[in-house]
């Protein structure tokens, strides 16, 4: 009986193919919207996680001033290069530590100039940032100690200043200072915040002090935790309190940022956005269901005579009801399947355009399908009930 209801439903749907397709369109769009939203949302989350990962794993950033107090940063005692050295030497939980100081400088090579951030930093910086050299050589310990005027170029700076030429061994001008390019860094891409990580020049910390900033200060210390970032964070805080002579009752005058925490916050935000957009899209599924109900009601009116004949011949109420209910469910679930296919294709292209990875969540796809079938049951119920409750005599008299 279920089988014959199904074949009847399919026949009825084929008979009104255009109308059935238009009716299904509501469900198709609803299901596709839900799946596309969730797929692209998940892809964005994955992309952000990957970008934060690319900043350096187990990375902590130490900086002067309280994190959430305005102006406290400027007022606070600056960090010293010796702090970085002490962290490296005294804390086993610190794998690497590098003080850094930055300044925006216009860099010139030949006729090209480019304004970028020039960083003076220690050799551990590349370890913390998990950044490696594409070509050339690293800054030697001797060059670090002496503050030699040598530098490493990020991929963007290299492209802007040199184009297709080979920068290795060339001399560039940082303001008034001449500086030799000894190495080229590999491409790191965009950060999670959207800034270009490759738009950078690295030079020995002491060269930066001597030739560019003119002060012996570091603005941040980049740290790499050996394993557990929260333990390292505690160790670093204790040592820094001691070095900065903070009394037991006083608050820290520095802050430690854990990149893992930031990653969690950011992916958390996109996850909320994803659920929100998915929920909005789900509303359109309900609108699609109302479309099905509307068409089924029209269909019941049109087929009143047929229903009368079936009832007169001995069909039970529940058999007529089942016939129309199956028709509604077939409409909605075929629409659901079409919506899933549409979503798979559309997500592929949208993910390509937005450059996010394609992360299909099979449970969402299954849920969307089940939901579309349920929409058919819910919105098919009223028309099916109406058909089943018809009076056979009146239905037979219907023209």
Partner 1 sequence: MIELQQLSKTYGKGVAAVEALRDVNLSVHAGEFIAMMGPSGSGKSTCMNILGFLDNPSQGCYRFQDSAVETLSRNQRALLRRHFIGFVFQGFNLLARTTALENVELPLIYRRMPRAERYVRAMAAMAAVGLDGREGHTPAELSGGQQQRVAIARALVTDPALLLADEPTGNLDSARGHEIMALLARLNQERGLTIIMVTHEADIAAYASRVVQFHDGHIQNEVCN
Binding-site ranges for partner 1 (CB under 8 A): 1, 4, 15, 305-306, 308-319, 392-393, 396
Q: Which is nearer to partner 1, 227 or 399 (CB)?
A: 399
Nearest distance from residue 301's CB to partner 1, in Å? 15
Q: Which is nearer to partner 1, 7 or 187 (CB)?
A: 7
Q: Which is nearer to partner 1, 86 or 396 (CB)?
A: 396
Ordered DSSP codes for 53-82: HHH-TTEEEEEES-TTSTTHHHHSPPB-HH
**Cα angle 36, 42, 44; round to 5:** 100
Nearest distance from residue 330's CB to partner 1, in Å? 19
Tokens standing for 163? 């184009």
Q: Which is nearer to partner 1, 80 or 319 (CB)?
A: 319
Nearest distance from residue 9's CB to partner 1, in Å? 14
Q: Cα-Cα-Cα-Cα dihedral of 99, 105, 109, 111, to 10°?
A: 170
From the CB of residue 388, how many other CB atoms can be counted at a distance below 10 Å? 21
Q: Which is nearer to partner 1, 90 or 302 (CB)?
A: 302
Residue among 330, 307, 310, 321 at smallest CA distance from 376: 330
Nearest distance from residue 352's CB to partner 1, in Å? 47
Nearest distance from residue 350's CB to partner 1, in Å? 43
Q: Which is nearer to partner 1, 264 or 389 (CB)?
A: 389
Ordered DSSP codes for 314-368: T--HHHHHHHHHHHHHHHHHHHHHHHHHHHHHHHHHHHHHHT------HHHHHHH
Nearest distance from residue 277's CB to partner 1, in Å? 44
Q: Which is nearer to partner 1, 178 or 393 (CB)?
A: 393
Q: Cα-Cα-Cα-Cα dihedral of 91, 92, 95, 101, to 10°?
A: 10
Ordered DSSP codes for 265-298: HHHHHHHHHHHHHHHHHHHHHHHHHHHHHHHHHH
Q: Do residues 220 and 99 make contact, with C-beta atoms less than 8 angstroms apart?
A: yes
Around 115, how many Cα atoms within 13 Å sit in the side-chain half-sphere? Answer: 2
Give the position of tokens 């184009």.
163
Nearest distance from residue 3's CB to partner 1, in Å? 10
Nearest distance from residue 313's CB to partner 1, in Å? 5
Distance, CA of 221 to CA of 82 (rounded, Å): 11
Q: Which is nearer to partner 1, 166 or 391 (CB)?
A: 391
Q: Which is nearer to partner 1, 242 or 394 (CB)?
A: 394
Q: Which is nearer to partner 1, 102 or 323 (CB)?
A: 323
Distance, CA of 156 to CA of 192 (rounded, Å): 17
Nearest distance from residue 377's CB to partner 1, in Å? 22
Nearest distance from residue 327's CB to partner 1, in Å? 15
For the chain, the 3-state helix, strand and coil shares in percent, each to the nearest 5, are 60, 20, 25
144 Rama class: left (phi>0) / alpha (psi -120 to 50) / beta: alpha
């Amino acid at each position: 009986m279920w089988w014959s209801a199904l074949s009847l439903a399919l026949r009825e749907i084929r008979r009104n193919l255009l109308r059935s397709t238009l009716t299904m369109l509501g469900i198709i769009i609803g299901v596709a919207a839900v799946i596309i939203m969730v797929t692209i949302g998940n892809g964005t989350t994955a992309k952000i996680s990957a970008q934060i990962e690319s900043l350096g794993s187990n990375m902590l950033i130490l900086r002067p001033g309280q994190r959430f107090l305005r102006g406290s940063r400027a007022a606070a005692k600056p960090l010293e290069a010796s702090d970085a050295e002490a962290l490296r030497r005294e804390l086993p939980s610190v794998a690497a530590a590098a003080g850094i100081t930055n300044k925006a400088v216009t860099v010139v090579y030949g006729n090209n100039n480019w304004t970028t951030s020039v960083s003076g930093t220690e050799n551990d910086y590349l370890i913390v940032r998990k950044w490696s050299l594409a070509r050339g050589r690293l800054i030697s310990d001797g060059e670090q100690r002496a503050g030699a005027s040598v530098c490493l170029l990020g991929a963007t700076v290299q492209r802007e200043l040199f184009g297709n030429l080979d920068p290795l061994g060339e001399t560039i001008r940082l303001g008034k200072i001449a500086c030799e390019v000894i190495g080229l860094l590999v491409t790191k891409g965009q950060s999670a915040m959207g800034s270009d990580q490759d738009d950078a020049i690295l030079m020995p910390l002491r060269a930066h002090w001597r030739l560019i900033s003119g002060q012996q200060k570091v603005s941040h210390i980049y740290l790499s935790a050996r394993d557990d970032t929260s333990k390292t964070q505690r160790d670093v805080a204790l040592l820094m309190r001691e070095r900065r002579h903070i009394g037991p009752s006083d608050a820290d005058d520095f802050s430690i940022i854990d990149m893992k925490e930031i990653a969690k916050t950011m992916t958390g935000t996109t996850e909320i956005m994803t659920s929100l957009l998915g929920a909005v899209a789900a509303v359109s599924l309900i609108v699609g269901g109302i479309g099905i109900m509307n068409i089924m009601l029209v269909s019941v009116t049109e087929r009143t005579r047929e229903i009368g004949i079936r009832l007169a011949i001995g069909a039970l109420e529940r058999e007529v009801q089942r016939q129309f209910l199956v028709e509604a469910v077939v409409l909605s679930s075929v629409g659901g399947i079409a919506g899933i296919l549409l979503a798979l294709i559309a997500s592929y292209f949208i993910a390509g355009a937005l450059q996010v990875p394609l992360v299909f969540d099979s449970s969402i796809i299954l849920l969307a399908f089940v939901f579309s079938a349920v929409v058919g049951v819910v919105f098919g119920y009223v028309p099916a009930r109406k058909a089943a409750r018809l009076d056979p005599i009146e239905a037979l008299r219907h023209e």
